Amino acid sequence: MEKEVNILVVDDEEIVRDSLGGWLEEDGYGVEAVESGKKALERLPERSWDLMLVDLKMPGMDGIQLMDEVRKTHPDMLIIIMTAYATVDTAVKAMKKGAYDYFVKPFNPDDISLTIRKIVDHHRLVKENLFLRKELKKKYKLHDMISKNEKMLEIFELARTVAKSGSTVLIQGESGTGKELLARAIHDESPRADAPFISVSCASLTESLLESELFGHEKGAFTGATAIKRGKLELAQDGTLFLDEIGDISLKLQMDLLRVLEQKEFRRVGGTDLLPITSRILAATNRDLQKAIDAGLFRADLYYRLNVISIHLPPLRERREDIPFLVDHFVGKFNIEMGKEIQGVSEEAVRALMNHDWPGNARELRNVIERAMVVAKEHIITEADISLSVPPGGGNHRTKSLEEIEKAHIRLVLSENQWNVARSAQVLGIDRVTLYNKIRKFDLKRETIAPKT
Amino acid sequence: MADCLLTTTRDMAAMPVPPESLQAGRNQYYSTRILKEMLKEVPADALKLLGVTEKDLCIPILTYVFGEAQLGGTVAVVSLARLRQEFHGLPPDRPLFLSRLRKESLHELGHTFGLVHCRSRECVMSLSNTVSDVDGKGSDFCRYCRAMVASGADAGRRGG
């Protein structure tokens, strides 16, 4: 019978086969015992064997010859050599040939138990590792992205097609719509799947930091550059470089990036050598780049360079029919992660979820479900478990766009900091250039001058 | 032991250790051969038969065993030899010796109920190759193993 761990015993002595077989079965292993190397080779394809216990001296094919034969088809097979001849020579020879261990007959039961347990534990870790890797990969496969929405299905189809090509893709959509998830899925469906997927969030770094993050720098390129640093462009070699929030980078970096994309070569900051670019570029933004171009904040030529293939992810409120599927998906996912057994969501709760506007899109939905599962007392998530965000200040904010709220917030922070741009940028968590751009974009002006005393 | 096994126990007249089980040059007895002889002596109304011997036991491939059982079968045997402190050069300790005997007897009988070694250190079915392993483990079955023994004892009572 095929067990979790299967051991093949090869020994020409019947008494050894019988006694070792029975003893190993008491330990819960699947055991098969055969009398010759020839028989062993016949049995090899029948099960997925984890370990072979092989007698060294056998008529015909001896243990070491058998080991050589097995390695031809099963190079990773773990083999323990058994022998009645306690000579250092044979031990050394067997170990050199790649035997996992070496036992002199009769064995001390404790030695062999511990060795096999060690192998089994190791084996379990390897299996678990493989499983987790697969799970991790699966997470980003397109067929695991969930939608019944026609527009989304078209997007998946397009993504599957473009994945095969090396073209640059620009993914646009509100935050939380799954831009990075789609980028990862494109990477994983592409021939580059085994190479790295490197993601850079362009909005979170200052101009100079982003520059050295992307291109890397040579030792001594600037104060603090004490060692050579490889940039993300280099790290994504043969893989995919995902530039998130591309709409937030400064005009200077836009120019640098354009040049690099055109010439397919770059230099590290402070470096002289030209390095080739072998990674594929995917970019994403939640901004309307067309508007940004009109406002002079984004270079049209870079836009056209990035926008070879354009994918626009619709917000969740435009594909409400997906909400129940996403809810099921998140409940299942968190059941596993939290070790819970939530069966689903009550009808009233589903209605509430369907009626919400989801400014934070699928990410917001995921967070709402995660929270609900933490607080849920029953096996069903009820309306009371669901906490939906209402914009601050009540109803009239519902009609305001994100941009209007952003503008008001920037004005507030600037006036709180007496229009000190550096300090305000720090408070807002963006770089100075971005803040200057926003001031220009929103046409913000200093209204009152703080009286000097 | 009877409560752990959920059945009744009774003693039987001693039988001689089969001479052919002696392993030449080792002064040890081959437990599998003893089990074979015991099988011929199982009373008709007995669910299981446990043999207890002073002899040191082994199977040819191992230097020693504390006992052996027919996995999912009827007979089991345990040796007293290595359970005594004296074997390890220490002063006698009767309570400790009896506790080891009880554990190993339950362990081998557990095998006859089809149980394999249990991963729980609390369980008497956990693997023990040394006396310190025996001393470290619990003296009763874990919940899971007890359920297996119970269903085996039930089937035995029904005559299955």
Does residue B11 register a pLDDT over 80? yes
Domains with residue ranges and CATH for chain B:
2-157 (3.40.390.10)
pTM here is: 0.50
Q: What pLDDT, in 10s, does the model give residues A289-308?
A: 989 999 999 999 999 999 99
Domain CATH number, residue A338: 1.10.8.60
* β-bridge partners, B59: none
Which residues of chain A have a CB within 8 Å of the CB of B61? 15-16, 19-20, 23, 82, 105-107
Residues A204, A307, single domain; the answer is yes
Distance from CA of B60 to the nearest CA of A (A): 7
Residues A300, A159, single domain; the answer is yes
- Mutation site for B-interface testing, chosen from A5, A9, A23, A26 by largest number of B Cβ within 10 Å: A26
Instruction: Give the pair of three-digit tokens for residue A435.
Output: 């803040």
Residues A293, A199, single domain; the answer is yes
Q: Chain-wide mean pLDDT for chain A?
A: 85
Q: Which of A356, A385, A414 is the last residue of a domain?
A: A385
DSSP A170: E
**Spatial separation of the C-alpha atoms in residues A219 and B35, rounded to whole Å:** 77
Task: Report the pLDDT averaged over residues B23-47.
Answer: 93
Name the residue in chain A with its Cα closest to that of B110.
A26
Residues A163, A117, single domain; the answer is no
Q: What pLDDT, in 10s, does the model give residues A189-209?
A: 899 988 889 999 888 788 888
Domain CATH number, residue A410: 1.10.10.60
CB neighbours of A393 closer than 8 A, spacing ≥ 6?
none
Does residue A452 register a pLDDT over 50? no
The pLDDT-based confidence of B104 (bands split at 50, 70, 90) is very high
Residues A55, A127, single domain; the answer is yes
Is A425 inside any structural domain? yes
Residues A306, A162, single domain; the answer is yes
pLDDT of B159: 62
**Spatial separation of the C-alpha atoms in residues B107 and B5, rounded to whole Å:** 11
Under DSSP, is residue A3 helix (H, G, I), strand (E, B) or coil?
coil
Distance from CA of B92 to the nearest CA of A (A): 24
Using the Cβ of B116 and the Cβ atoms of chain A, whether some distance falls under 8 Å is answered with yes
Residues A173, A228, single domain; the answer is yes
Residues A207, A287, single domain; the answer is yes
**Spatial separation of the C-alpha atoms in residues A21 and A367, rounded to whole Å:** 54
Estimate the share of chain A in helix, then strand, then coil, as percent rounded to the nearest 5. 50, 15, 35
Task: Report the pLDDT averaged over residues A326-333.
Answer: 88
pLDDT of A284: 95
Under DSSP, is residue A10 helix (H, G, I), strand (E, B) or coil?
strand
Q: What pLDDT, in 10s, does the model give residues A153-183?
A: 889 889 889 998 889 999 999 988 989 889 9
Is A1 inside any structural domain? no
Residues A225, A158, single domain; the answer is yes
Q: Chain-wide mean pLDDT for chain B?
A: 91
Is A140 inside any structural domain? no
Using the Cβ of B88 and the Cβ atoms of chain A, whether some distance falls under 8 Å is answered with no
The pLDDT-based confidence of B133 (bands split at 50, 70, 90) is very high
**Spatial separation of the C-alpha atoms in residues A199 and A267, rounded to whole Å:** 20
Using the Cβ of B27 and the Cβ atoms of chain A, whether some distance falls under 8 Å is answered with no
Residues A362, A422, single domain; the answer is no
ipTM of the complex: 0.81
Is A141 inside any structural domain? no
**Spatial separation of the C-alpha atoms in residues B118 and A19, rounded to whole Å:** 21
Domain CATH number, residue A52: 3.40.50.2300
**Spatial separation of the C-alpha atoms in residues A418 and B38, rounded to whole Å:** 98
Indicate if B108 belongs to the active site. yes
Does residue A396 register a pLDDT over 50? no
Is A448 inside any structural domain? no
Does residue A442 register a pLDDT over 90? no
Q: Which of A296, A312, A328 is the last residue of a domain?
A: A312
Distances in whole angstroms, Cα of residue A300 to Cα of each of A172, A434, B67: 16, 18, 83
Is A107 inside any structural domain? yes
- Mutation site for B-interface testing, chosen from A110, A114, A116, A118 by largest number of B Cβ within 10 Å: A110
Judged by CB atoms closer than 8 Å, whether chains meet at B61 and A26 is answered as no
The Cβ of residue A27 has, within 10 Å, a number of other Cβ atoms equal to 17
What percent of chain A is predicted at pLDDT more than 70?
Answer: 91
Higher pLDDT, residue A173 or A448: A173
The Cβ of residue A34 has, within 10 Å, a number of other Cβ atoms equal to 17
Does residue A1 register a pLDDT over 60? no
pLDDT of A136: 66
Instruction: Give the pair of three-digit tokens for residue B153.
Output: 């004892």
Q: What pLDDT, in 10s, does the model give residues A69-108?
A: 998 898 888 899 988 766 667 777 888 888 888 888 888 8
Residues A335, A421, single domain; the answer is no
- State the total domains in chain A: 4
Q: Which of A109, A135, A161 is the last residue of a domain?
A: A135
Does residue A334 register a pLDDT over 70? yes
Instruction: Give the pair of three-digit tokens for residue A235.
Output: 């790290």
Residue A46 sits in which domain range?
Answer: 6-135
**Spatial separation of the C-alpha atoms in residues B69 and A25, rounded to whole Å:** 11
Residues A110, A152, single domain; the answer is no
Under DSSP, is residue B72 helix (H, G, I), strand (E, B) or coil?
coil
Q: What pLDDT, in 10s, does the model give residues A22-57?
A: 889 888 889 999 999 999 999 998 888 889 999 988
pLDDT of A206: 84
Does residue A144 register a pLDDT over 70? no
Least confident range from A214-223, A233-242, A297-306: namely A214-223
Instruction: Give the pair of three-digit tokens for residue B72.
Output: 């999912």
pLDDT of A88: 65
